[in-house]
Amino acid sequence: AGMIRQLGTHLQKTIAFGFDRYVLPELDAYTEILSRYGNVANVATENLHYLTSAQTLCEMVQSEPDHMGVLICGTGMGMSIAANKFRGIYAVRCLEPDDGHMARTINNANVLCLAAKTGLEINEQIIAGFMETAYEGRKLDQLEAITEMELEANPAPRVPRLSIATEARRSA
């Protein structure tokens, strides 16, 4: 339950940034926006598949306490579902400017999932709220209960890395 107890903002953390092809037209703009808040580590893979980006990013956030993540795909849904399969990852899909703030205030999320279709202007506001809002321990007992559910549902350590990229290429 250690990760969920981290207080404060995500400012100046390393920002693992994963995305798929829907972000490419505005990739430079997103990278610039994120760089205002910390060092950006692009984790997108050559095939730009949302699952490989989510997996690489979550493994980085799991292993580095000074890292947090931002995932962007067409809708933000697939990234959010995939990210939340990883122990210790609290990924939220945010669509409105206030969502980023609430994700930190109430849920202490460590991975922000955005929909490229929401647009750069609104996503920039969501990112600002997510990065600048401190978690101060609100509803910690409930967050720890979620962590306990996670541990009970998945007691064994994660299996070695699956080659999602290989499977994606086979099915293409």
**Whether 111 contacts 70, CB under 8 Å:** yes
3-state secondary structure of 70: strand
Which of 58, 73, 94, 113 is catalytic? The answer is 73
d(CA 25, CA 157): 38
3-state SS, 22-67, equals: HHHHHHHHHHHHHHCCCCEEECCCCCCCHHHHHHHHHHHHHHCCCE
CA-wise closest residue to 103 among 129, 128, 124, 71: 129
Task: Give every strand in the sheet of 111-115, ordered side by side.
Answer: 40-42, 14-19, 67-73, 111-115, 91-94
**H-helix segments, 106-163:** 120-132, 140-153
* Residue 73 bears catalytic tag: yes
Quick check: helix, strand or coil at residue 106?
coil
- Active-site residue numbers? 73
